[in-house]
Chain A
Amino acid sequence: MQDKKGRMNGKYIVIVGCGRLGSYLANTLSQWGASVVIVDLHEESFKLLSPHFGGFRLTGDAVESGVMRQAKLDRADLLVAATHDDNVNLLVAQTALKVFKVPRVLARVYDPRNDDIYQELGIETICPITVAAELFLQAVTEGRLPGEER
Chain B
Amino acid sequence: MKRLVTLAASAAVILGAAQISQAADYPTKAITYIVPYNPGGESDVTARFQESYFKDVAGQDVVIQYKPGAGGATAWAQLNGFEPDGYTVMNVNFPHAILQPSMKDVGYQTEDVKPAFVFHYTPDAILVRADSPYQTLQDLIDDAKANPGATTFSGSGTNSANHLATVRFDQMAGTKSTYIPFKGSAPSMAALLGGQVKAAMSYTTQGIKAGDQVRVLAIATEERVAAYPDVPTFKELGFDYVAGAYRGVTLPKDAPAEVRQKLSDIIGAINAKPEFRQKMEENGYVVTDIPHDKVDQFIADRRAEYASAIEALKAAN
A, B co-complexed: no
